[in-house]
Chain A
Amino acid sequence: MAIVKFFATLRDITGKREIEIKNVKNVGELLHRLYEIFGDEFKNEVEGRNMILVNGRNILDMDGYKTEINDEDIVSVFPPAGGG
């Protein structure tokens, strides 16, 4: 079981700060599962651009959507964001 954390606008869309997800192999599968659960609004927010971390490491520095997800991993999902 992995923990998925939501941030910024995704909290309003999902109404949640985090959920637990079982039986997903990688980030791509996880996203599909999240699209099923939270629908188009969620999908539109993250499909084009996003920031996804697995245990604090950006998936773009690992295997992208093929990055594996294991039990007890923490996945952080952000919409595109910036600041400074």
Chain B
Amino acid sequence: MMYGYWGKILRVNLSTGEIKTEEFGEDFVKKWLGTRGFGIHYLLKEMDPKADPLSKENKMIFSTGALTGTTAPTGGRYMVITKSPLTGYIAIANSGGFFGAELKMAGWDAIIVEGKSDKPVYLRIEDDKVELKDASHVWGKRVGETEKILTEEFGDKHVQIASIGPAGENLVRFAAVMNNGHRAAGRGGVGAVMGSKKLKAIVVRGHKRVEVIDRSKFISVVREKTEILKNDAVAGKGLPSFGTAVLVNIINQNGLYPTMNFRYGQFKYAEEQSGEAMAKKYLKRNKPCYACPIGCGRVNDTETVGETEGPEYESLWALGANLGINDLASIIEANHLCDDYGLDTISTGGTLATAMELYDRGLLTQEDLGDAPPFRWGNTEVIHYYISKLAKREGFGEVLAEGGYRLAEKYGCVDCFMGVKKQELPAYDPRGAEGHGLGYATDNRGGDHIKAYLISPEILGYPYKMDPHDISDDKVKMLILFQDLTAVIDAAGLCVFTTFGLGADDYRDLLNAAFGFNMSTEEWLKIGEKIWNAERLFNLKAGLNPLEEDTLPKRLTDEPMPEGPNKGHVVRLKEMLPRYYALRGWNEDGTIPGEKLKELGLEEYI
């Protein structure tokens, strides 16, 4: 008997309609832990990394983590791993809510989706009973309505649904997979891959209890860690009170709140769209994910949309300051639209910001737009109008649906695009946190903050404060540690926000208690390192050219920050990158040497 997992994977071939069960043992867990680990194993083993991401050759793995479905704090997460149509490299999108835990409780640890269906289908899972069903009646429907219809059809309000909206169906390159209405496996266009397979949704209901090896021991470890989180000033107080949007004022005061496509590092109207302002004006209550003692999720109520969830910090920024927009109610509405159409908010905002920059420079003109609203900084009409247009690929939305990079390229200004590996950057200007900039440049999934959040040490002071402009080896090592540790937390099925209270040893305790293993923190971190390297290996096989693509937009490396506390600073990426490669044990050209792959047990994937 296995603990933590069932040792069962569901393989669904949409081309043939075949549904199979496959099994795995404890060795597989010790090797890959879960989510990203399981996902990269299957992608490296079973698909050509050069395959077209929207073709039937691409595979999609929906995977739970080691502690998903247990009572471990925040143990409810799942990830979607596939090849990204936005970056052409690995996509590893993580989501909370309740879907992941339900999947595990239905007796499944992961689902491998392969092939392509001719007509819209959805996957219905009720414990051991699994079937593909017609989805023509929900094709074209937004996320909220899709969830409503499929829940009614199932006849059980406890059912959990991961689905795509019109954006995924229309292959928008940054479409998300959504669950619980507003929780997103957001980044990298995983929703477009699902759309290309004509898989509208996965609907799941489970009635099983996830077992751990020693229930009473596990409960006591869970209690201990939950107490730490509850008593922590950030996890127990800051996040529940203000949500992640508490960062608006912090990042703005620190002078790295990207404003108008990263032209500036401070936004004049930040205060009006801060977590404090949101709590005062629109907040009804907070809403935690499965087994979460933190509860950063926001339920807001505005006149135009009524009750909705979010926006969290990144979305608030992407659809606000990055476009020069200050009206909080409009931003909340835009966020709601993104969720309902099934769009990644960061890339949506980043793409619109690129359009504004192009318009401002006269490269994109009103002639190109026809009657549609002009892309002027601060024009709130833009967000609502173009979000629906791009989700439906109508009018100029057809161009926007390709993402910021392809838009900038089309209008002859690649430097107008603020992203890495064709993915739009999140809400921190790295000219005010240089280690975080190295994180952007080296992230396996492109412009991204959550796979190694160096804002923690550089700005917030966790686990201890590091100078944001220190670029010594200590900083580079910290980034590597964050990348590896985050891979462990992801693979464990936990939320990265637990890191504000918990350290690497706490995750070790939880994992060991669930499985009855006696592994050291170093051994768990080694799995994180293996995952990071395996994902990198996938990217290299897909054609990554490290020296050209482990990079940042010129604005961040060559144009000094014009004002504020970081005035005069750029990201000294060239000084950090070679040391990063060396400290990772990689070659000077950013490839991974054979000995390193061997050390990590990755020879069989070369």
Instruction: List A residues at the B interface (Cβ < 8 Å).
Output: 5, 7-9, 11, 48-49, 51, 53, 55-58, 60-61, 76, 78-84
B313 within 8 A of A: yes
Given contacts A11-B276, A79-B233, A84-B497, contact A53 B254 (CB under 8 A): yes
Decide if A84 touches B461 in the complex (CB within 8 Å): no
Decide if A82 touches B460 in the complex (CB within 8 Å): yes
Residues of B within 8 A of A49 (CB): 233, 461
B130 within 8 A of A: no
Cα–Cα, bound, A9→B233 (Å): 11
Decide if A81 touches B565 in the complex (CB within 8 Å): no
Decide if B465 touches A58 in the complex (CB within 8 Å): yes
Instruction: Specify which of B233, B241, B247, B468 is in contact with A84 (CB 8 Å cutoff).
Output: B247
- List residues 254-298 of chain B with CB under 8 A from any CB of chain A: 254-255, 275-276, 296
Cα–Cα, bound, A17→B314 (Å): 24
Cα–Cα, bound, A11→B249 (Å): 13
Residue from B238, B450, B455, B500 whose CB has the most chain A CB atoms within 10 Å? B238
Decide if B465 touches A60 in the complex (CB within 8 Å): yes
Decide if A58 touches B276 in the complex (CB within 8 Å): no
B359 within 8 A of A: no
Cα–Cα, bound, A31→B374 (Å): 49
- List residues 221-246 of chain B with CB under 8 A from any CB of chain A: 233-235, 237-239, 241-246
Can you report 8 residue pairs joining A to B where beta carbons are below 8 Å apart? A9-B238, A49-B461, A78-B253, A82-B235, A82-B460, A84-B314, A84-B450, A84-B453
Given contacts A83-B244, A84-B247, contact A56 B564 (CB under 8 A): yes
Chain A proximity of B437: nearest CB distance (Å)? 16
Chain A proximity of B567: nearest CB distance (Å)? 9
Residue from A11, A56, A57, A61 whose CB has the most chain B CB atoms within 10 Å? A56
Interface of B is mostly: helix
Chain A proximity of B240: nearest CB distance (Å)? 11
B456 within 8 A of A: yes
Given contacts A11-B276, A58-B254, contact A82 B462 (CB under 8 A): yes
Cα–Cα, bound, A83→B564 (Å): 22
Residues of A within 8 A of B455 (CB): 84
Cα–Cα, bound, A83→B235 (Å): 9
B387 within 8 A of A: no
Cα–Cα, bound, A56→B249 (Å): 11
Given contacts A8-B238, A60-B461, A61-B465, contact A83 B245 (CB under 8 A): yes
Decide if A81 touches B250 in the complex (CB within 8 Å): yes
Residues of B within 8 A of A78 (CB): 249-250, 253
Chain A proximity of B450: nearest CB distance (Å)? 6
Chain B proximity of A18: nearest CB distance (Å)? 11
Number of interface residues of B (CB under 8 A): 42
Instruction: List B residues at the A interface (Cβ < 8 Å).
Output: 233-235, 237-239, 241-247, 249-250, 253-255, 275-276, 296, 312-314, 449-450, 453, 455-456, 459-462, 465, 467-468, 496-497, 500, 564-566
Decide if B249 touches A7 in the complex (CB within 8 Å): yes
Given contacts A61-B468, A79-B233, contact A84 B244 (CB under 8 A): yes
Chain B proximity of A8: nearest CB distance (Å)? 6
Given contacts A11-B276, A81-B238, contact A55 B461 (CB under 8 A): no
Decide if A57 touches B275 in the complex (CB within 8 Å): no
Chain B proximity of A11: nearest CB distance (Å)? 6
Chain B proximity of A4: nearest CB distance (Å)? 12
Decide if B242 touches A8 in the complex (CB within 8 Å): yes
Chain A proximity of B427: nearest CB distance (Å)? 9
Task: Name 17 extra pairs, CB < 8 A, besides A8-B275, A80-B234, A83-B245.
Answer: A9-B238, A56-B253, A56-B255, A56-B565, A56-B566, A58-B254, A58-B465, A76-B253, A78-B250, A81-B234, A81-B242, A82-B238, A82-B239, A82-B500, A83-B238, A83-B239, A83-B247
Residues of A within 8 A of B275 (CB): 8
Cα–Cα, bound, A76→B255 (Å): 12
Decide if B250 touches A84 in the complex (CB within 8 Å): no
Chain B proximity of A66: nearest CB distance (Å)? 15
Residues of B within 8 A of A51 (CB): 250, 460-461
Residues of A within 8 A of B238 (CB): 8-9, 79-83
Chain B proximity of A22: nearest CB distance (Å)? 22
Decide if A55 touches B468 in the complex (CB within 8 Å): no
Nearest CB in chain A to that of B247: its residue: A83
Instruction: Specify which of A55, A61, A76, A82 is in contact with B234 (CB 8 Å cutoff).
Output: A82
Cα–Cα, bound, A58→B450 (Å): 23
Nearest CB in chain A to that of B313: its residue: A83
Cα–Cα, bound, A61→B432 (Å): 13
Residues of B within 8 A of A84 (CB): 244, 247, 313-314, 449-450, 453, 455, 496-497
Nearest CB in chain A to that of B256: its residue: A56
Decide if B246 touches A8 in the complex (CB within 8 Å): yes
Residue from A8, A81, A82 whose CB has the most chain B CB atoms within 10 Å? A82
Nearest CB in chain A to that of B280: its residue: A11
Cα–Cα, bound, A50→B484 (Å): 28
Chain B proximity of A82: nearest CB distance (Å)? 4
Cα–Cα, bound, A44→B25 (Å): 50
Nearest CB in chain B to that of A49: its residue: B233
Cα–Cα, bound, A27→B443 (Å): 38
Nearest CB in chain B to that of A55: its residue: B565
Residue from B234, B244, B253 whose CB has the most chain A CB atoms within 10 Å? B253
Cα–Cα, bound, A5→B274 (Å): 14
Residues of B within 8 A of A81 (CB): 234, 238, 242, 246-247, 250, 460
